[in-house]
Chain A
């Protein structure tokens, strides 16, 4: 039987994880709106794979399956990976990614709380390196598709790679679906800009081309909306104090500072800060992936440093590396560094500060009625 304290906050790890999953909802709905059924299939597939993988490992490790599954951490890993991979990805790729994430990145290190890396990002990076083509070819916004796959067709495409076009009655595979009416495939904005840059175009040229290209504008706008939706979800998490402001704010600040510095050097080659923030998986990663407490730094100062370094690394890889969206790499690299960061950025223990900050408080007035002053019992702000 434990000793004092006998009072405890009611919010548990299980609830925390579930609330983070809830925070994903606006982003997931927006993605579903723009990219169709494939998103939903990915979410369900990855979620189921994650839970089954966790159950399997727990069985092998002879741990209580239900008790551990209740913490919802596996579900969250699955959902994050499901949102990060492109829609209509073959089911077995999702399977490999999720199983690798849960078994290798999580349980081989000891399970929840012991994994040095973010499992979802390890799964993502494995897939990205193993299947670069499938992983980088995002589905264009549904609006632009000649064939908008419905639920059944999406399932067929995910599981068998082909579906029957009900109009022309010709079987089509995933590449056919991704090909637009003009015969081109549509990359994500970051991909597109990167490819054009390597072809020797200036940013202003790409910009003017894009303005003429209606399809590109529609596609990049959809990405901006997705990022805004994740931003909303992230602010909800901040508001509930599930995540703290340190990591998201420092990542975004460092992204802005780094990209402004680069575009001051040459604004024709280096992308602007707003492009970096609102294209790709930026907001999803800033609020939901980098803030994973297990693999991130834990001290408050450390978190600022951790976030700042992620932002910087991200911009560097995006600008000079070969991956257009490198959030997974930036996060994993800093996961390695977080124990060291924790070691060097500790808070100053009580007894070192000489003078404190004054905070104003409400003035007690003699004339106030006693009854007005004493309301209900003050409740913990966490519980509401």
Chain B
């Protein structure tokens, strides 16, 4: 058994520029073990829970008002639609469909989304729809595995919610420089969030099995389990579980990286593992890399091995207003207000909930919004003191911490004076909005807000430029066409006048056209005799 040698812990990583070390606040929720939250009575399921926009029209809701549904039953379908991007959602309970309606679910555009409300039955027996038999996935074809993953409704559960089956659909190639690698993202660099940490501690074997499934789908040569060094228990759990695997011939290694935000960003993670940067046009798969979050891999394991659809996820409930912070299995669709009552959170101290981490998370002040696949952490904190925005003193700290090596200070300068063009030249588009610059700014300038706004403006500007370019082209083409027609007409006229001239000249020689008529007749006779002779010779030749 050479697994001890095969599965090594890597002890060196590459470095990415900048980064910050915010106060972690992870112990608040990581010290207690996972609990299953008692499910509520009413669930509101968003029809589109993936990051892909504008697919709502292509999603077919296959349940009707009043229909009875069981736990894990599919609510939407994609079969009839052409769109390859959408993923179905499933019922989180046994119950009845109460209503299908538009509801504002806190999307940043504040546009309402289609939701399905399900009323749970009195008793929701768990795991009824789950086959206890373990599936032999090693014998299945890659295509059927991908289909199963899609049918189970799996999206990236690290918070980005990009449909997983799309990522898996393109198999990785392998070359000498870049072997096909699956990077398991267990960095979890945001403060407060510990759901991945706890998940690894409790389900390390299953996550590894999920990783093996994914690596089979995309033909990986190597699996790198990347984790920050602030999660030693999780590292131990993974080391233990890797030791148990003997039959798989795969390079499986653990990479323990120094804790630094934002090491969990896909680009930063690839840089940490391989030292390579993705150029603007490249996707991870161009470097033969696939990055998957641990929660996603766990969901893959559940979908493939247990035939279980994705109806709940591990959510970190934390913050100084929560009595029992920790990680809870919460079914999708549970409204935040229910969580607030269950955790005895005083509403008068609560201004807003933060979905996700404090650095990249989203602020929600309407508590009727339900949880969805993107909600990996809910932070309930007391009202924070308003910070005072001061003038920029050009200290350059923002540049020091920017993982993309942008110049936030100059970008801010340009965005304040609404000079979108130079901002585009400074590669504003490459900004990942990680918030590191904002975090270190001594003048508390909301840089990310400025950049988000500027991004939309730059986009608009580029769109306008493109449109004007197009219309200019159209105009040029029209001018050309008109010119061409004009020239053609002129040429035609010229020809006509010449013809007329010729005709009139001919007329002067032969006023009533008799001469030409005679000439024509003579020519005709000539041609006829010629033809006759030809046919005769042809015949003689045949004879």
A113 to B390, CA, bound (A): 10
Q: Are B21 and A378 in contact (CB under 8 A)?
A: yes
Contact residue among B275, B362, B406, B444 (Cβ-Cβ distance under 8 Å from A4) = B362
Provided the pairs A3-B448, A9-B439 are in contact, do residues A357 and B387 lie with their beta carbons within 8 angstroms?
no
Provided the pairs A300-B399, A364-B232, A370-B232 are in contact, do residues A111 and B391 lie with their beta carbons within 8 angstroms?
yes
Provided the pairs A6-B358, A382-B440 are in contact, do residues A350 and B404 lie with their beta carbons within 8 angstroms?
yes
Is B457 in the interface zone, CB < 8 Å from A?
no
* Nearest CB of B to A337, in Å: 15
- Which of A30-38, A93-101, A316-324, A341-349 forms part of the interface with chain B? A341-349
Is B363 in the interface zone, CB < 8 Å from A?
yes
- Residues of chain A lying within 8 A (CB to CB) of residue B114: none
- Which of A10-18, A51-59, A117-125, A134-142 forms part of the interface with chain B? A10-18
Please give me the residue from chain A that is nearest to B268 by CB atom.
Answer: A350
Contact residue among B276, B388, B441 (Cβ-Cβ distance under 8 Å from A67) = B388
* Nearest CB of A to B343, in Å: 19
Interface string of B151-186 (1 = CB under 8 A from A): 000000000000000000000000000000000000
Interface string of B321-344 (1 = CB under 8 A from A): 000000000000000000000000
A4 to B261, CA, bound (A): 15
Interface string of A154-191 (1 = CB under 8 A from B): 00000000000000000000000000000000000000
Q: Are A348 and B405 in contact (CB under 8 A)?
A: yes
A383 to B22, CA, bound (A): 9
- A:362-384 near B, CB below 8 Å: 362-364, 366, 368, 370, 373-374, 377-383
A295 to B531, CA, bound (A): 100
Contact residue among B11, B279, B392, B442 (Cβ-Cβ distance under 8 Å from A16) = B442
Q: Are A347 and B399 in contact (CB under 8 A)?
A: yes
Q: Are B440 and A13 in contact (CB under 8 A)?
A: no
A356 to B274, CA, bound (A): 8
Is B394 in the interface zone, CB < 8 Å from A?
yes
- Residues of chain A lying within 8 A (CB to CB) of residue B393: 13, 16, 73, 112-113, 293-294
A247 to B106, CA, bound (A): 47
A5 to B452, CA, bound (A): 12
- Which of B24-32, B69-77, B82-90, B300-308 forms part of the interface with chain A? B24-32
- Residues of chain A lying within 8 A (CB to CB) of residue B360: 4-5
- Which of B94-102, B252-260, B464-472 forms part of the interface with chain A? B252-260
Contact residue among B25, B26, B394, B448 (Cβ-Cβ distance under 8 Å from A293) = B394
Is A208 in the interface zone, CB < 8 Å from B?
no
Is A354 in the interface zone, CB < 8 Å from B?
yes
Is B284 in the interface zone, CB < 8 Å from A?
no
A99 to B174, CA, bound (A): 69
A356 to B271, CA, bound (A): 8
A244 to B23, CA, bound (A): 22
Highest count of chain A CB atoms <10 Å: which of B24, B279, B393, B399: B393
Interface string of A285-310 (1 = CB under 8 A from B): 00000000110101110010000000
Q: Are A361 and B354 in contact (CB under 8 A)?
A: no
A351 to B448, CA, bound (A): 21
- Residues of chain B lying within 8 A (CB to CB) of residue A379: 21, 23
Q: Are B443 and A12 in contact (CB under 8 A)?
A: yes
* Nearest CB of B to A295, in Å: 8
- Residues of chain A lying within 8 A (CB to CB) of residue B276: 354-356
Q: What interface size band does chain B fall in?
A: 35 or more
- Residues of chain A lying within 8 A (CB to CB) of residue B441: 8-9
Is B267 in the interface zone, CB < 8 Å from A?
yes
Is B400 in the interface zone, CB < 8 Å from A?
yes
- B:249-288 near A, CB below 8 Å: 254, 256-259, 267, 271, 275-280, 282
Is A62 in the interface zone, CB < 8 Å from B?
no
Contact residue among B21, B444, B452 (Cβ-Cβ distance under 8 Å from A380) = B21
Is A214 in the interface zone, CB < 8 Å from B?
no
Is B510 in the interface zone, CB < 8 Å from A?
no
- Residues of chain A lying within 8 A (CB to CB) of residue B191: 7
Is A265 in the interface zone, CB < 8 Å from B?
no
Q: Are A293 and B229 in contact (CB under 8 A)?
A: no
Contact residue among B11, B257, B388, B406 (Cβ-Cβ distance under 8 Å from A363) = B11
Provided the pairs A11-B442, A111-B391 are in contact, do residues A5 and B359 lie with their beta carbons within 8 angstroms?
yes
A70 to B543, CA, bound (A): 122
Contact residue among B23, B384, B396 (Cβ-Cβ distance under 8 Å from A383) = B23
- A:80-123 near B, CB below 8 Å: 111-114
Provided the pairs A351-B430, A379-B23 are in contact, do residues A359 and B12 lie with their beta carbons within 8 angstroms?
yes
Q: Are B236 and A356 in contact (CB under 8 A)?
A: no
* Nearest CB of B to A264, in Å: 35
Is B40 in the interface zone, CB < 8 Å from A?
no
Q: Are B277 and A353 in contact (CB under 8 A)?
A: yes
- B:185-229 near A, CB below 8 Å: 191, 229
* Nearest CB of A to B87, in Å: 26
Please give me the residue from chain A that is nearest to B395 by CB atom.
Answer: A293
Q: Are B24 and A5 in contact (CB under 8 A)?
A: no
Q: Are B363 and A4 in contact (CB under 8 A)?
A: yes
Q: Are B405 and A5 in contact (CB under 8 A)?
A: no
A294 to B448, CA, bound (A): 21
Q: Are A6 and B440 in contact (CB under 8 A)?
A: no
Is A1 in the interface zone, CB < 8 Å from B?
yes
- Residues of chain A lying within 8 A (CB to CB) of residue B12: 358-361
Provided the pairs A361-B258, A377-B27 are in contact, do residues A114 and B391 lie with their beta carbons within 8 angstroms?
yes
Contact residue among B13, B26, B267, B279 (Cβ-Cβ distance under 8 Å from A358) = B13
Q: Are A354 and B9 in contact (CB under 8 A)?
A: no
Provided the pairs A5-B435, A377-B26 are in contact, do residues A113 and B391 lie with their beta carbons within 8 angstroms?
yes
- Residues of chain A lying within 8 A (CB to CB) of residue B361: 4, 6
A173 to B371, CA, bound (A): 81
A350 to B282, CA, bound (A): 12
Is B312 in the interface zone, CB < 8 Å from A?
no
Q: Are A364 and B446 in contact (CB under 8 A)?
A: no
- Residues of chain B lying within 8 A (CB to CB) of residue A275: none
* Nearest CB of B to A116, in Å: 11
* Nearest CB of A to B221, in Å: 20
Provided the pairs A4-B361, A349-B405 are in contact, do residues A364 and B388 lie with their beta carbons within 8 angstroms?
no
Interface string of B395-436 (1 = CB under 8 A from A): 110011001111101100000000000000011001000010
Is B137 in the interface zone, CB < 8 Å from A?
no
Interface string of A245-270 (1 = CB under 8 A from B): 00000000000000000000000000
Contact residue among A12, A67, A293 (Cβ-Cβ distance under 8 Å from B444) = A12
- Residues of chain A lying within 8 A (CB to CB) of residue B363: 1, 3-4, 6
Please give me the residue from chain A that is nearest to B435 by CB atom.
Answer: A5
A135 to B335, CA, bound (A): 73
- Residues of chain A lying within 8 A (CB to CB) of residue B520: none
Q: Are B358 and A361 in contact (CB under 8 A)?
A: no
* Nearest CB of A to B543, in Å: 85
Please give me the residue from chain B that is nearest to A338 by CB atom.
Answer: B394
Is A199 in the interface zone, CB < 8 Å from B?
no
CB-based closest 9 A-B pairs? A5-B435, A356-B275, A373-B232, A113-B391, A7-B358, A356-B14, A350-B404, A5-B359, A293-B395
A-B contact pairs, 27 of them (CB 8 A): A3-B363, A4-B448, A5-B360, A5-B435, A6-B354, A6-B359, A6-B381, A7-B439, A13-B393, A16-B442, A67-B388, A113-B393, A293-B395, A293-B396, A298-B407, A299-B399, A342-B410, A349-B405, A350-B17, A354-B276, A355-B276, A358-B13, A362-B11, A362-B256, A374-B230, A380-B23, A382-B21
Q: What 7 additional pairs, Cβ within 8 angstroms, besides A299-B407, A370-B233?
A: A2-B449, A4-B354, A8-B387, A351-B278, A351-B430, A361-B12, A373-B233
